[in-house]
Each structure stands twice: as C-alpha cells, then as structure tokens.
Structure 1
Amino acid sequence: MTGDGADDAAGHGLPQLLEAVLSVGTDLELPTTLQHIVDTAAELTGARYGALGVIDPEGGALSELYTSGLSQEERDRIGPLPSGASGVVGLLIRDPQPLLIHDLDADPRSSGVPEGHPETRSLLGVPILVDTEVFGNLYLSGKREGVFTEEDLAVLRILGSQAGIAIGNARLYESARQRERWIEGAAAVTTALLTGQSARDALMTVAEQARILAGASAGVVLQPTDEGGMEIVTASAPDDPGGIVGTVIAPGSPVLAQLLGGEPVFIEDSATDPRMTTRVRTRFGPSMMLPLQSGGRLIGTLALPRRRRDRPYTAAERLLASQFASQAALALVLADAQQNRERLAVYEDRDRIARDLHDLVVQRLFATEMMLESTRRRAGAGEADELLSRAVDELDSTIQEVRTAIFALQQPPAQAPTGLRGRVLAEIAGASALLGFPPSVRFRGAVDALVREPAEGRLLAALRGALAAAHRRPGVTSVEVEVDATVRLPDGRAGVRLTVTDDGRREDGGAGGTPVVWEAPR
C-alpha cells in the first residue's frame, strides 16, 4: 500500500483507532476489559479470530484465554489452553516482541494449530506490558481481506500499549475490590462467631464464607483425628456436598505433615496431584489448604478446592485467603473463650442457687417438719394427728425434691452423668420431652455410694420401661419416681427399690395407674 492509498487508509483508520484507544479503558472490571481489548483488536485489523492470553507469573504458561470470533462449541473442540512450550504461542511468551507471520505453515517457528482450530495462515502478535511486567499476549489470525500488514502491526502495538494501561488500572481496581471483599468477609465471620454459635455452626460459617469469597467449588474444614490423620468435619458445597463430610486423610499422607505442622498447601490439580489421597479428590482441580491456627494452637485446616479445569489461584488470592484463615482462627478461639466464660458464669450462678436452696430452703423446711412432728406427738390420736402426719410426709417429699434439684444444679450440663443419681436424672430429663412434663423424682439413702453394677444397670432399664409405659397410657399428667436404697429384701439382704407411679387410666378403666415396683439386691 503506497502513495495516496496508504494515506487514505490511515485517514480512515485514525478516528477508529483513537475511538478504540479511548474506549479500552472505560471499564474497570478486568474480565470485561480483557474481552473488550481482544474484540476491538480484531475489529480494527479485520481479523476473523483474536485471542488474549494471560500469562501465569509463577508458571510462565497461559492461565486464561479470552477469544473473539470463536463460538463456545469451537473453543470446546480446541481443548485445553496451549502450554506455551513450543510454537508461536510459546515464542511470544519466551521472547515478548511484536510478531508478524504471513504463512504459518511455512514458518519454521510454528508448530501448527491445535486440532479443532479453524484454518488460518497469517498471524499477528504483540505482548501486553503492565508497567514492566508481561501481563499476556494479544494474537490475531485470519485476515478477512488480504494479509496482515505492517500498518496492522503498528495499530496492534498502539492498542497493546493502551491495553497495558487499562489492564493496570483494572487490576488495581480489582485488587482493591477483592481485598475489600475479603476484609468484609472476615469481619462478618468474626461478628457471627461472637454471637454465641455452636462449634459446628461456627465452622460452617467459616467454610461457607471462605467458599464464596474464593469462588471455590467447596469450603471444607478438616480437624485432627485421634489416630493422627485429619477428617473433614464441615463442608459447604452448593453443588454436591454428599460424601465429603467424614472423608479422612489417613496418617502417612504426603500433605499431612504440612497440614498438622500448620503449613499451607497449594495444589494445581487435586485430581492428579500424587500428594492427594482422598476419595473425593477427583471432583476438584486447583485447591488451597490453609491452617486455622492462632497463638500456636492448631484448630484445623480450611480447604478451598475449585472445579476441574477452573483457573488456578493467583498469588494475591492465596495471600488474601491465608490472611482470612488467620483471622477466622482467631475469631474461633475468641468465640470459644467467650462461650467458656458464659458457661462458667452459668455454673457459678447454678452453684449459688444450689447453695441458697441448701442453706436456706432445705433447713427451713426441715425445721418446719420438726415442729410439726413435735406438735403431732403432743396432739395425740385423732383427726389433727392424721392431718399433721400428712403435712410431715409432704414436707419430707418436698425436701427430697429440693435436694434432687440441688444435685441437678451442681451437675455440668454438658458432662455425662457418672453416678446412679445423675443417670436417673438424665433418664427423667429424656422422658420429659416425650411426656410433655417433667416427672418428679426423689431419692432415699446414699444411692451413689450404695448401689453398684449390675443392680444399677438393671434399675435404669426398669426405669426406662416404666416411663415408656406411662407415655403410652392415656390421661397421664404426672409421674412420680422414687429410688430407695435403704430397703431390706424379704431374705434380709440390703436392696434397692424403684417405684414409678402415674395418674393415667388403668386397663380396667379406673383412674390412677398401677405403680411399677422393682427391687433387687444392691
């Protein structure tokens, strides 16, 4: 192209080039900016196909590819991204200089096009520099009319230069937005954990928030096992969480030493990495495994796997996720400490109530019982004697009930009961949910000291059966349970007796259930 023809072409192309240069930097979203760049380059040069390859700064290969002129079906036929180890794609990665090839088949540097790629002969390529770093390369092929010229290459170089500035701005914006999202996510996790969630809910909050922030396929929390491995205890996965929870990394796994040592592990492809040994690894691709530790205490590991063939995590994403994991671990420790403080406050309050009941209520009731007993003896036989005897019995029952309440208050709620008294109370508490009301219970004698196995186990079995029978009987509104360790059996041996009485209807239709009495040597 010479003389007036060249000037005419330049004159027609300059306004379009200026408009393209100005429009390239109008969007701050990086993916949108990259797609706009490759579309604009193809339109300016009359190319059928365009591609913008983003270079992984760590691996030196292409990590992402934005295309123009190719349908999704054509992209799928081409297959995975080129490695860049050979061909003109690798040439621009190894030597980032502008490239103009008129005939790819004849050029010795070309290794041909991938299978499924549309036929093309000519190619333009320029590197995209962000500051002094090679961000990626811009490729154009298949000139619609004629062949690519030096003028096309000059236009592409100008566009590539402007693209570097636009990409730099978009990356800064994206980095700021990404950091802001992770900071907000960490703050949300801290706030949620300090509201008093259970340990299971707290771990799920961490896993789910991290999954959303990282754009991962799953958010998984692993914790050390007694056998020396690690087990997945929580999983947030919107697609298919089934089969993930309960998966165990067995002792001896290559990554286990790093995880138990609190070191992060970064995986390029979970399905093919030999260090990964779990049965669910085939579902996932790139993955991060980050320690949840604070103050030298290892709580567990946060794993964030992506789907197969998803883009790998960038260095910035790894750093932000690691910082999130540290913040989440600290929040978990603080939440645990807060729950311990609240639990201690409850225990102290329960202990105070138990002391007040013992020191004030029980002693006053006992003193009243003694006064009534003395009055009954002075009153002699008659109606007053009967009334006083009933009052004494009621006070004695009340004292037993209060002592039972004192014992229950002194038992930590989360602690498994050890003695017979505690195990009986646990059975009573379980039956309350079925009956709809709490049965009353009283103990006679030092049941924990006097009753031992096998009598203890048989008594508890009889108690369960009696409570189940009361639940099935119609019209039951109250149940009374008594465990007496002071009885003497007919053969003279010391024994223990269980009596369970309810107010339900009997089989013969009468009111008041038949008492269940069980006794055995203790």
Structure 2
Amino acid sequence: MLHHMASREDENAAVSDRSGAQRPGPVPPLRMDALLSELQEHVERVRGGRDRMQTLLDAVMAVGSDLDLEDLLRRIVQSAADLVDAEYGALGVLGEEGTIRQFITVGMDQGTIARIGHYPEGQGILGLLIREPHPLRLEDLGEHPEAVGFPPGHPPMRTFLGAPVQVRDKIFGNLYLTDKRGGTPFDADDEAVLRSLAAAAGVAIDNARLYDDSRHRERRLAAGAEMTRALLSGAPPEEILRSLADTVREMTDSDLVTLARPVGEGDGLVVEAAAGAAADQVLGLALPATTLAAKVYATGKPLTSDSLSDDPRASGGSASVVPLGPAFFVPVGDSEAIRGVLQVADAPGRPPFTDAAVDMVLTFADQAALALQLAEHRRDAEQLALLGDRDRIARDLHDQVIQRLFADALTLQAALGRVRDQPAAAERIQQVVDDLDATIKIIRSTVFGLQHRDRQQRTGGLRAHLLTLTDEATRTLGFAPSLRMTGLLDTDVPATHADHLLAVLREALSNAARHARATTVEVTAEAVGRTLRLTVTDNGRGIDPATTRRSGLANLRSRAEELGGMFRLARRDPTGTLLEWTVPLPVGSAAPGAAG
C-alpha cells in the first residue's frame, strides 16, 4: 500500500501531456491559505472602502441639509472626526486679518475647554495652515519645526491631519483632526476623505450664508417697517430709541444692545436706550473717550471685538458694568452727522457675530439715522411752535394784560383822591393799587422768562455739566469715574437744584481724591418722579461717617436741608463709602439749564 501511495504521488507530481511537456501540480496547502487570506483582506478593503464611501456620502448629505450656520459648523467637525476615526476635531474660522476668530471643537468636555482658556489665535501648526492652506499630515506634532507646544490644561496630542475649507474663492477656515484611534497615523485615504468633506462643507457653508443673508434681509425690512410705523404714529424720540434697541436685539439674537447719544457740545456719550437682561444696569451710563463706542463716534467707522470685557483697546463703558463677550459697534449716521453709536454684544463664551449680522445692523443703522433725523426735525418743529406760542403769550400779556392792569391802576389812583375823607375806603383802594402793581411785576417777570428760556437752554443742560465735572475729576483721581444719568435731568430739574447738585458732586469727588484712596468711583444722577438723587460710591478707605463736623460735609447737608431733602454718608461693605444726596423736585418745575 505504501508503495502504491508513493507511486500515486510520483504520478501526480509529474504528469505529462501528449507532447511530453509537464503541467504544474496542485498548489501546496500553505500557499493556498496565503492566497485566501490575501483575497479576504482585499474583500475587507473593498468593503471598508464601500462603507467609508457610504459614510462620506451620508456625512455630505447631513452637512448639506443644515442651513443654520452655527449648527452646520459643529456638524462638519463631528462628521470629519467620525470619518477618519479621530479622537479630537476642530474647525478654526478665519477673521479678516487672517487670525482665528472662532474655534469649534469636538472630543473635549466643557471642563477641559474651560481649563485651556481662550481658543488659539493662529500660532504654530495652526498658523502654518493659515499661511499655507494645503492639506497637512503629521505623525508627531511635536517634531514639526513650527510646533509651539500646548497651553496648560490641554490634552496631549500626537498625530495630526488638517485641510482648508474653501468657500468660493476665499478660505473660510481649516479643519484640524488629531490622534487617530488605535495609535496609527493618518494615511492618504484619510486625507482624501477629509478633502472631499472639506469641499462639500464649503458648498454647505456658502448655502448657509446665503440663507442667513436672506433671513437678515427679511428682519431688516421688518424692522424698517416697524420704525416707519413708529414715526408715522408720532411717537416721541425716547420711544423711538427704545424701539430701535429692542428691534436690533431681536434682529441679532444678542444679549445686550445699547444706543449711546452725544451730550452737549463735546465728545461725551450717554447710553440713552438699552435692551436686554442687563439694560437697567447700563441705561444712562456715561461713556468716556477711552471706550470703543466713543472711538466709533469720533471716527465714524465700525469696530468689532471677540471679548469686550478683555479687550485692551477699551476702557470703561458697559463692559465695566456687566461681563460681555463678542461685540461690535456701528455708527448711526454718516461721517458728517453721526447721531449715535449702536453696541451689539453677547455674553462671554458665545461665538462671534457673523459678517452678515454686522452688515445687517450697519444697513439698519442708516435707516435708524434717518428715523432719528426725522424725529428730531419733528421735535424741533414742535419746539418752534412752542416758542411761537410763548412769544405770542408774552406779547399778549405785555400788550394787553399789563396795559389794561396799568390803566386800571391809574384809574384807581385817580379815584383815590376823591375818597381822602373816607380812610377805610382809601386804604382798600390803595391796597388794590399795590396788588395790581405787584401783579404787573409778576407778569413782566413771566414775560421775560418766556422770551429768554430758549436762550438759557442753549447754554448747556445738567447732563453736559455732569460730564464736564466728572471729566475734570479724572486728573485728581488718576482714573475716570463712572457716571450714570437717568431721567429728565435737563428738563425736570430747576436751575437752583442743578447748581446745588453740581456743588455736592464737586465736593464728593474732591473728598474721594483727597481721602478715599480709591481705585473706582461711581456717580449716579437721576430724576425719577418728583425726586432728584445723587449717589457717589467708591471702594477706598472712605471718610469716617462719624466725622460729620467736617465743613465740607456740613455744607452738603445744609444744601439738602435748604431744598427740603436729606443727606446720608455710610460705609460700604466690604470697603468704601456711600454718599447719597436726595431732594424733592417742585411740582411743575422746568429746567432751562444748569448754571455753570
């Protein structure tokens, strides 16, 4: 049997055909296993490629179906990380100056993001992709000569894959992927997939921007129509300003919108209208020249900030009262006649405003400037009509009432000589003559006031004097005090009350400079209802409330008591001093202006 098996094996090993040539024998088992394994691997690669292509198509379809830009950008990053099996992904949106203005990440929790702090500004490898927008693959980030390391709290990363996202002819940003799962580096297939997704993302972003533009255009048209209705309804300028702030906030979906308007002849601005949760905290706030709003008012050019509270270009303003993140400022009006400055801001941590949102508010600001101009012209016309009525009333009082009273007084005086023998009647007639003379003097004083009130108004109101006084205090304090003004200070506060208030503020700022050693001083002047109130607070060591015999403090108290009000000086917790000066306003008071 063994011999038979050997003969069969020899026969199978060398089988000849009819021509005498040998044919190859059967494939050895080990060789067959290798071929089967290779075929299986090829099938797996084909299947994997098919699955990856299907995943890519699904990602492209998902990305293209979202028209909200913020959600779209995050979906792009997540899809890119899923397609190449990366642990971390990010999309850096580029600003106008070639720096990263928005950074969207996946793979990190909020605690890690908070520990890292501010998002990258475009240095190192990220800056290389910005300067050279081409796909980039690295096996080790740290070995690249452009690498600058990671900030504290940043998780370690090794492998890297990046690709630009192009919208039409402009680079929108870059996709960054790190740490491929399994520890292997990114390969050429990963790069091809990312490039395909980046191309599709560019188209989707362009569509989303066009969609945003259409929505903003609709909002702008609706806002313009609302403002037109307000103008046609005859609403006063104050209501138009509040409506303007509310409309801009709705248009931009922002957290805070303020409208600052000039006060007096100088460059001072005051927040005249505000909308948002923190509106009451910033309404009436005076904006010094160091604020971005004042710079926009001076130059007529819009400004943007990624984090207003941390912006080194700004000092003071609403960001010193409430924490603010992304913001932009636009002038209301043209360079020849700027009527105010709009500030649109979000809370810290929110993404920057899109260019479409800024352009929308810029266009609406032009309409708002026209609306304010029309409202001011209508107010001027009403003022002229009022002045005309005053002149007519003054003329009638002078030409008719005074002359008739004077004639009646002369008649009574002539009759007085005929009743000299009747002392009681003569005394009564003389009393009536004296009363008529006093009445004539009162009417003449009223006529003078009616004729000269508009001239006094042009000398500057209480608000302008408050701004001047706080600006002057900057030199003695070493910093600009914060000023907030609310209510009708220029119209409801009589000149006498205004003079007292300015004297009290001058003394309070002088005390803060000499004794408090403070680093912040906050001044609030308000005319609410029938009450005029001045509050001055600081964070220094303050003045001992027990030292009420100090001459300056005694003067402040006497000024309040003279007008029927009160004066209070108290310690603040934990440090500082609170000075409060409150007086009632007379019924029917009108303030032609404060004396300088």
TM-score by length of 2: 0.55
Letter in 1 for 2:113: R
SS at match of 1:182: helix
The equivalent position to 1:319 in structure 2, one of 359, 371, 379, is 359
| Residues 334-373 of structure 1 mapped to structure 2, 5 A cutoff | 334-341=374-381
Q: Tell me what 1:136 maps to.
A: 173
1 or 2, which has the higher helix percentage? 2
The equivalent position to 1:178 in structure 2, one of 216, 225, 232, is 216
SS at match of 2:259: strand
The equivalent position to 1:38 in structure 2, one of 77, 80, 83, is 77
| Residues 81-160 of structure 1 mapped to structure 2, 5 A cutoff | 81-87=119-125, 89-147=126-184, 148-160=186-198
1:26 to partner: Cα distance: 0.6
Asked if 1:222 is matched to 2:261, the reply is yes
> Comparing 92-101 with 141-150, which one deviates more in the overlay?
141-150
| Residues 314-463 of structure 1 mapped to structure 2, 5 A cutoff | 314-341=354-381
1:340 to partner: Cα distance: 4.0
Letter in 1 for 2:157: T
Asked if 1:21 is matched to 2:60, the reply is yes
The equivalent position to 1:301 in structure 2, one of 329, 333, 341, is 341
Structure 1 residues 291 and 151: alpha-carbon distance in aligned structure 2, compared to 1, 3 A threshold: closer
Asked if 1:249 is matched to 2:286, the reply is no
Q: Tell me what 1:79 maps to.
A: 117
| Residues in 1 aligned to 2:58 and 2:294: alpha-carbon distance in whole angstroms | 56
| Residues in 1 aligned to 2:385 and 2:293: alpha-carbon distance in whole angstroms | 42
| Residues in 2 aligned to 1:280 and 1:84: alpha-carbon distance in whole angstroms | 29
1:352 to partner: Cα distance: 9.6
Structure 1 residues 274 and 23: alpha-carbon distance in aligned structure 2, compared to 1, 3 A threshold: closer
Deviations 1:355-413 (A, max 9, x none): 99999xxxxxxxxxxxxxxxxxxxxxxxxxxxxxxxxxxxxxxxxx9xx99x9999699
The equivalent position to 1:213 in structure 2, one of 229, 240, 251, is 251
Does the CA-based 8 Å contact 1:244-1:280 persist in structure 2?
no
Letter in 1 for 2:361: A
1:295 to partner: Cα distance: 9.4
The equivalent position to 1:239 in structure 2, one of 266, 278, 285, is 278
The equivalent position to 1:195 in structure 2, one of 233, 236, 251, is 233
Does the CA-based 8 Å contact 2:139-2:160 persist in structure 1?
yes
| Residues in 2 aligned to 1:256 and 1:114: alpha-carbon distance in whole angstroms | 35
Does the CA-based 8 Å contact 2:292-2:303 persist in structure 1?
no
Q: Tell me what 2:540 maps to.
A: none
1:47 to partner: Cα distance: 2.0
Q: Tell me what 1:51 maps to.
A: 90
Does the CA-based 8 Å contact 2:112-2:154 persist in structure 1?
yes
1:150 to partner: Cα distance: 2.0
Letter in 1 for 2:373: V
Deviations 1:176-204 (A, max 9, x none): 21233233323323432442233333333
| Residues in 1 aligned to 2:142 and 2:232: alpha-carbon distance in whole angstroms | 66
Deviations 1:125-156 (A, max 9, x none): 21111112111111222323352332222222
Asked if 1:12 is matched to 2:62, the reply is no
1:317 to partner: Cα distance: 3.7
> Comparing 179-188 with 263-272, which one deviates more in the overlay?
263-272
| Residues in 2 aligned to 1:30 and 1:258: alpha-carbon distance in whole angstroms | 29
| Residues in 1 aligned to 2:292 and 2:208: alpha-carbon distance in whole angstroms | 39
Does the CA-based 8 Å contact 2:287-2:294 persist in structure 1?
no
| Residues in 2 aligned to 1:262 and 1:62: alpha-carbon distance in whole angstroms | 26
| Residues in 2 aligned to 1:71 and 1:77: alpha-carbon distance in whole angstroms | 10
Letter in 1 for 2:364: F
Deviations 1:478-501 (A, max 9, x none): xxxxxxxxxxxxxxxxxxxxxxxx
1:59 to partner: Cα distance: 2.0
Q: Tell me what 1:460 maps to.
A: none
Deviations 1:216-239 (A, max 9, x none): 53313131434x231314141422
Deviations 1:91-129 (A, max 9, x none): 222212122223334444433444323333322221111
| Residues in 1 aligned to 2:303 and 2:52: alpha-carbon distance in whole angstroms | 51
1:353 to partner: Cα distance: 11
1:162 to partner: Cα distance: 1.0
Deviations 1:153-188 (A, max 9, x none): 222221111111111111111122123323332332
How big is the alpha-carbon RMSD for the aligned residues of Structure 1 and Structure 2?
5.1
Letter in 2 for 1:170: A
Letter in 2 for 1:180: E
| Residues in 2 aligned to 1:132 and 1:109: alpha-carbon distance in whole angstroms | 27
| Residues in 1 aligned to 2:347 and 2:123: alpha-carbon distance in whole angstroms | 25
Deviations 1:415-441 (A, max 9, x none): 999xxxxxxxx9xxxxxx99xxxxxxx
Structure 1 residues 261 and 140: alpha-carbon distance in aligned structure 2, compared to 1, 3 A threshold: closer
SS at match of 2:141: coil
| Residues in 2 aligned to 1:150 and 1:257: alpha-carbon distance in whole angstroms | 51
SS at match of 1:48: strand
Structure 1 residues 270 and 333: alpha-carbon distance in aligned structure 2, compared to 1, 3 A threshold: same
> Comparing 311-320 with 180-189, which one deviates more in the overlay?
311-320
1:323 to partner: Cα distance: 2.4
Q: Tell me what 2:511 maps to.
A: none
Structure 1 residues 254 and 209: alpha-carbon distance in aligned structure 2, compared to 1, 3 A threshold: closer
The equivalent position to 2:100 in structure 1, one of 47, 62, 65, is 62
| Residues in 1 aligned to 2:54 and 2:301: alpha-carbon distance in whole angstroms | 55
Structure 1 residues 223 and 211: alpha-carbon distance in aligned structure 2, compared to 1, 3 A threshold: farther
| Residues in 2 aligned to 1:105 and 1:264: alpha-carbon distance in whole angstroms | 40
Q: Tell me what 1:204 maps to.
A: 242
Does the CA-based 8 Å contact 1:218-1:238 persist in structure 2?
no
SS at match of 1:249: coil
Letter in 2 for 1:98: P
Structure 1 residues 333 and 105: alpha-carbon distance in aligned structure 2, compared to 1, 3 A threshold: closer
| Residues in 1 aligned to 2:398 and 2:217: alpha-carbon distance in whole angstroms | 58
1:345 to partner: Cα distance: 6.3
Letter in 2 for 1:249: A
| Residues in 2 aligned to 1:218 and 1:265: alpha-carbon distance in whole angstroms | 15
- Report sequence identity in percent: 35
The total of aligned residue pairs comes to 417
Structure 1 residues 415 and 230: alpha-carbon distance in aligned structure 2, compared to 1, 3 A threshold: closer
Structure 1 residues 243 and 14: alpha-carbon distance in aligned structure 2, compared to 1, 3 A threshold: closer
Structure 1 residues 30 and 256: alpha-carbon distance in aligned structure 2, compared to 1, 3 A threshold: closer
